[in-house]
Amino acid sequence: DQQVKQNSPSLSVQEGRISILNCDYTNSMFDYFLWYKKYPAEGPTFLISISSIKDKNEDGRFTVFLNKSAKHLSLHIVPSQPGDSAVYFCAASAPHSSGDKLTFGTGTRLAVRP
Amino acid sequence: DGGITQSPKYLFRKEGQNVTLSCEQNLNHDAMYWYRQDPGQGLRLIYYSQIVNDFQKGDIAEGYSVSREKKESFPLTVTSAQKNPTAFYLCASSTGRTGGNQPQHFGDGTRLSIL
């Protein structure tokens, strides 16, 4: 049962344009959502997060949007840079569940073309 | 520099052998986690520990064991009972929910292969 889904395994974007990565979830108990960036043979690096009491959180070039009614979140990267090329994972956690364990999506590989 | 150190980076296991993956953190985090990543899949939780001397099974604990004798250390043993151990193993830590919503921070992983 995949509670967090990233339906696009890959995305290719021109440098300078916007990258939009999407994530859907099914568990209505999730109240904290995160995006991680991962390079090959390295651990994931935390990018940005959002609590369910908000619908938008911005940090520099990265913005996360949360639509609770649709159980959907997205990560916008503007402008995209070649160094952004990596696999992006969304993750979610629910309160009072197994500590603050994260449930991960399967990832989207972003390629930013120069 | 605070962080999470996993060792070794690469590990080979013979059939029927137990191997132990090391994870050390100097972030003073209470909670620690072990995940497994397989190609084309997300990270799946093996075990987690919210406090010293306490740990719980995650979603795929069969064939694995852990200990949490010190706050800084959370070693994972892959036993011979784990029939498909080839994967990339990631250790993470966090302050835990008592500190409010906080992200988990990851080490650089250990790649385990079968000889």
Q: From the list B31, B42, B107, which residue is nearest A104 (CB)?
A: B42
Nearest to A60, CA basis, from A52, A72, A48, A50: A48
Q: Which residue of A has its CA nearest to B9?
A: A41
pLDDT for A97 beyond 70: no
Q: Which two tokens stand for residue A84?
A: 């952004």
In chain A, DSSP assigns E strands to 4-5, 10-14, 19-25, 32-38, 45-51, 56-59, 62-67, 72-77, 86-93, 103-104, 108-113
pLDDT of residue B97: 62
User: Exposed, middle or buried: residue A27 (CB in 10 Å: 0-12, 13-18, 19+)?
Assistant: middle
**How much of chain A, in percent, has pLDDT values that exceed 90?**
85
* Mutation for A interface: B101, B111, B112, most A CBs within 10 A: B101
Contact B46, B34 (CB under 8 A): yes
Question: If you average pLDDT over residues B55-84, what whole number do you get?
Answer: 94
The answer to whether the bond into B8 is cis (omega within 30° of 0) is yes
Question: If you average pLDDT over residues B9-32, what whole number do you get?
Answer: 93
Question: If you average pLDDT over residues B51-69, what whole number do you get?
Answer: 94
Question: What residues in A contact B44, CB-CB < 8 Å?
Answer: 104
3 state SS of A82: helix
Question: If you average pLDDT over residues B72-96, what whole number do you get?
Answer: 93
Could A99 and B44 be called an inter-chain contact, meaning their C-beta atoms sit closer than 8 Å?
A: no
Could A41 and B109 be called an inter-chain contact, meaning their C-beta atoms sit closer than 8 Å?
A: yes
Question: If you average pLDDT over residues A1-17, what whole number do you get?
Answer: 93
Q: From the list A42, A89, A101, which residue is nearest B48 (CB)?
A: A101
